[in-house]
Structure 1
């Protein structure tokens, strides 16, 4: 398993290095406060990283809401289990 991870890591590094070499030409990057000349690979990787960060940020609201709902449901389930256990321990009434 370690060998496969190492192989995957080396392959990813080689693809990244090839990507950087093939996209090394400088590009003018205009932003709100000015402009700067950066290699295209840096701009693309930065954009990818920003997209991943914003995607995780937008998904956190949903995930936190689901975790909160899950904890509420676990608490209710625990209370219902205790109630059933208490009701089963009560003796039956004779008519």
Structure 2
């Protein structure tokens, strides 16, 4: 079921992308440091979106790594606490009466 929905979502995204490209078929002139280029507007927008997404992932990578290390540290700490509780429950209670 999940695969079918994923496939349908991907197919819809591809169709929307194609419609977007057809509707934005005009060319734009890009001026960059080494020269100029005439490229389709749709390609310019898609490459800009992809570049922004890539930069966002790159900048958030350090945060993700730090949070994963914190999760690992907390899991180890919780496991030690659970083990200590289990050890304390196993110790018999001494009655001095």
Query: Quick check: TM above 0.5?
Result: yes
CA distance in 2, matches of 1:5, 1:90: 53
Q: Distance in 2 between matches of 1:6 and 1:87?
A: 53
- Unpaired segments of 5 or more residues in structure 1? none
**Deviations 1:26-84 (CA, angstroms, capped at 9, x unpaired):** 21111222221111111100000011111122222222111111110110111111111
State the TM-score, normalized to the length of structure 1.
Answer: 0.83
| Unaligned runs of at least 5 residues, structure 2 | none
Q: Which residue of 1 aligns with 2:50?
A: 49
Compared with structure 1, are the counterparts of its residues 8 and 81 closer, same or farther at alpha carbon in structure 2 (3 Å cutoff)? Answer: closer
The TM-score normalised by the length of structure 2 is: 0.82
Match of 2:76 in 1: 75
RMSD between superposed Cα atoms in Å? 1.7
